[in-house]
Structures are given as C-alpha cells and as structure tokens.
Amino acid sequence: MRILFILQAITGILLTVTILLQNRGSGLGGVFGGDFGGYYTKRGMEKFLLYATVTLVIVFLILSIMNVKLSLNA
C-alpha cells in the first residue's frame, strides 16, 4: 500500500509540472476579450504535453480509486 502512495505522489508532481509547462497564452485570455480568431492545431511539444497531461490524469485517477478501495478493505 505504501508503494501506491509513492506512485500517486510522483504522478501528482508530474501532473503539476506538465500543467505548468503548457502554453500560458491560451489561458483565460479568451474569456476576458482575448483574440478569438487564433485557432490553430497543436504541434510538437505542445501536443506531447497535452497527451502527457491527459495520460497522467487518467493514471492519477486510477491510483486514487485503487487507494480508496484498498483503504476500505484494510
């Protein structure tokens, strides 16, 4: 069970890093009157960060569910 906590902590740290590395210009700027005509496709590192973030969210969710189930059985 301790390894599960360690994996969850590492996944959380990696998830935080990938979120912080994503493009800052596409944040809340559009909500408050930013450029709406700036649609573009994600390429290169930006695309990798998107896929890495989604994958880490799924892994973190699975680890969290496993953690809860194991703690209820103990």
Find the helix or strand (DSSP H, E) in which 5 lies.
Answer: helix 2-21
| Count of alpha carbons within 13 angstroms of residue 68, beta-carbon side | 5
Let me know if residue 33 belongs to a domain. Answer: no
**How is residue 41 written in tokens?**
């496709």
Let me know if residue 37 belongs to a domain. Answer: no
**pLDDT at 43 (0 to 100):** 80
Number of domains in the chain: 1
Let me know if residue 30 belongs to a domain. Answer: no
3-12, pLDDT tens digit by residue? Answer: 999 999 999 9
Let me know if residue 32 belongs to a domain. Answer: no
12-64, pLDDT tens digit by residue? Answer: 999 999 999 986 655 554 555 555 555 667 788 888 999 999 999 999 999 99
Contact indicator for 66, 5 with CB cutoff of 8 Å? no
**pLDDT at 54 (0 to 100):** 96
**pLDDT at 3 (0 to 100):** 93
Domain range enclosing 3: 1-22+46-74
Let me know if residue 58 belongs to a domain. Answer: yes
* pTM, two decimal places: 0.74
Say how far residue 12 (Cα) sits from the centre of its chain. 8
